[in-house]
Amino acid sequence: MRVIRAPSLGRAHELVVKMILEKGYVLDTEDGEATAEFEETAITVDDPFAEPMASGRSRFGRRFLDSYADALLHGSDSVFEYDYHGRLFDWGQGLTCGGAEVHADQIAYIVKKLREAPESRRAVAITWNPPVDETLHDCPCLQLVQCVVRDGKLQMKVVFRSNDMLSAAGANMFALAHLQKAIADKLEIPCGAYTHISLVPHVYYRRDINDIPPFCKEGTEIAPIPEVCRACGRCARSRQV
C-alpha cells in the first residue's frame, strides 16, 4: 500500500493524481472505460480544513464542492441509483426486519456510540447493501466510514473499493471532511486527522482527458505514462513518448 501524507486535501489530490499518471498501469474496465490504475493507496491529512481544501487544478470549483458537501449532509432532490446521504443517514433501501422497513441512521449511531464510549472502535457506518448493490450498474464506491476519538480529537477513516482520483476524489474528500466536522461538532470536540483509503485508485484518462493538462502542466510537473500522453496529444512531450 502506498501512503501519501499531505498538508491539505487539495495538495493530497494533486499528489495522488501525479502518482497514478506517472506510475499507473493501463486497464480497460468491465464497462470498456480506459483507465490508468494503481495499487491501494492511503491518503492522510492531519488537518482536513487546512487550505487549500480543494486543488485549483480541479474542474470543480468551491461552489460545486460546497453544494456536494451539503447534499451528503442533508440530501438533495436529485434522483440517482444511490446517494451517500441515503446510505449513511437512512441505510436499508427497502429491506425489512421483523416485518418493518429498515431505516438505519448510521451517523446518529456513530455520535451516540462515541458519546457513550469515546475509546470505541465500533463507530462504523457502511454503504454496501448486497441485495441491492449486486445488481446495480452504478454501485457505491465509498464502502466504510469509521470515526475514532484519539487525543481529544475526532479522526475519520474512509474506505473506497474503487475511486476516480482525478475527477471525483477531490469532491469526495471535501464532502467527507465536512461530515467529519458535523460529527465532531455534535461531540463538541475538534477534528483530527482524515484518512482516505482507496483499494483501487484510478484515472479515466480518455474520458476525462480535458482534466489532465491543468495537473500535468504540459509535462513540466507530471510526466505521465506514454498511453496517457498519447491520448492527450497536447504538448511536445506527447509527441516524443
Q: Which residues are catalytic?
A: 141
Which three three-digit cell numbers place residue 47?
Answer: 488537518
Interatomic CA distance for residues 38 and 41, integer angstroms:
8
Cβ contacts of 16 within 8 Å, gap of 6 or more = 4, 41, 43, 165, 169, 201
Residue 83: closest CA among 157, 164, 172: 172
DSSP for 168-199 reads THHHHHHHHHHHHHHHHHHHT--EEEEEEEES
Q: What angle do CA 160, 25, 176 make, to 5 degrees?
A: 20
Which three three-digit cell numbers place residue 103?
Answer: 431505516
